[in-house]
Amino acid sequence: MKKILTITILLLLSVSWAVMAQDSTQQKYKKNKLVKAEADFLFSYYQQDGNNAAVTGGLGTELLNNVATNTGFSLVYQDKRENLHSFSFNVGVDSYTSASSDNIDPNTISSASSGDVHVYPSLSWELDNQKKRFTIGANLSYSTEYDYVSRGAGISFSKYSPNRNRELSVSLSAFWDQWSLIFPKELRPPKPPGASGDDDDDDDYATTPRNSYSASIVYNQVINKRLQIALLTDVVYQQGWLSTPFHRVYFQGQTQAKIEHLPDTRFKLPFGIRANYFVSDFLILRGYYRYYWDNWGLTAHTLNLEAPFKMFQGVSFYPFARLYTQNQAQYFAPYRQHNLTETFFTSDYDLSGFSSQFVGVGLRLAPPKGILIKPLSALSVRYGMYRRSTGLASDIFTVNLTYKFK
């Protein structure tokens, strides 16, 4: 699968470069037309707390603080054949502190896992052939953190009708991850005789792979002047080390923990429908529903609602809400509720049965003459509050700036 995706991406890029090279030799008198160039800057602050940390077996602090930035640059230009080429490059950087991760080694005041920086650049390209009414695209991504490295790649194809009222899109993606096997302090195997160093979080650990492959299909349809809908589905397959190596699990009548153990494959199958209804020039209603199923016995329902309201030219206010519920995965049990005879076990409350609500408001400014200066075309400010029935609570504040070069 990895070789197929790599070869396909190289072929797509080769075709694009060949087309551009041919045009430059045969039609040198024509110039490429720059359609759009812009930069996006995003800043967000996230904080959470709860009392069901999987690091300590389903009990313990879930306190976490995260500061994230994302900088993106995009360029759209038209070639000699009037095809639109879109290039985008993004770099995200998250800096976090986690009290629960610090409990990987409860005997230390602080360890490397108590805080870290997550860096994730990505690059994408898309070609829109407006004469033949199709688009093709490819993307590459990379992500690194203290305990894993991830490499990703994807390709996409879509076909749309002459009036763009219908569009069918298909995309394939793959991620190849490497986990560092950082076990809880007391469950680490002893070092071989003669090995140097101690067992802190700065050591070099053995690694193990985790691969994810997905296919997505999206069908968009304009019903009438007011209503648009989209049908979405994904097929996701994961293989490798799907447990988290530093998650503890405690059993009935036992004081000694074990390392979380989950199957090494997982199959996910979500279905969704999205609808946008234009009530008036000032109000849009946006809704989204998704049903999720996987072979670990977990099913879930998600309902998203958003109502952007145009207060006056260039100023929009949008409240939003997301309602979510899921049943318990078959391998989950709370602290000291697992039986020693079980093959697979976890006390990670992300796999428990719960319901949650995420509600908030946003404000977007996009005046025709820009904000203070014309190139600064848009400013969005958003606040969201998340509450889970297990007691986990979080808040996120986001600011997004868009700067247009042309």
Q: Is residue 180 part of a domain?
A: yes
What are 304's strand-pairing partners?
A: 288, 322
C-beta separation of 35 from 84 below 8 A: yes
Q: Is 399 within the bounds of a domain? A: no
- Chain centroid offset of residue 366 CA: 26
pLDDT for res 343: 96
Domain that holds residue 11: 2-33+71-188+203-362
Query: Could you read off the pLDDT of 190-201 as tens digits, one per residue?
Result: 766 655 555 444
279 domain-assigned: yes
What 3-state class would DSSP assign to 355?
strand
Beta strands in 187-295 (DSSP E): 207-222, 227-240, 248-249, 258-259, 265-278, 284-294
Count of domains forming the chain: 1
Mean pLDDT for the stretch of residues 166-193: 89
Q: Amino acid letter at 56?
A: T
Give me Rg for the CA atoms of the chain.
24
In a domain, 49, yes or no: no
CATH, residue 302: 2.40.160
Among the ranges given (4-18, 34-48, 89-103, 242-256), the one the predictor scored with the smallest mean pLDDT? 4-18
Q: What percent of the chain has pLDDT over 70?
A: 86
Tokens coding 61: 């602090």
CA–CA distance, 268 with 146 (Å, rounded to integer): 27
Q: What is the pLDDT of residue 322?
A: 98
Q: Pick the more confident residue, 102 or 323.
A: 323
pLDDT on residue 21:
44
Using CA atoms, how far apart are residues 234 and 232, in angstroms rounded to an integer? 7
Tell me whether residue 405 is in a domain: no
> What is the rounded distance in angstroms from the CA atom of residue 138 to the CA atom of residue 2?
14
| pLDDT score of 194 | 57
pLDDT in tens, 123-151: 999 999 999 999 999 999 999 998 899 99
CA distance 185 to 207: 17
Q: What is the mean pLDDT of residues 290-316?
A: 96
Q: Tell which residue, 261, 248, 265, has the closest CA to residue 209.
A: 265
Asked if residue 367 is part of any domain, the answer here is no
Q: What is the DSSP string of 284-302?
A: EEEEEEEEEEETTS-EEEE
157 three-class SS: strand
Give the CA count within 13 Å in the CB-facing half-sphere of 40: 15
- Whether residue 144 lies inside any domain: the answer is yes
Q: Per the domain annotation, does 357 fall within a domain?
A: yes
pTM for the predicted model, two decimal places: 0.85
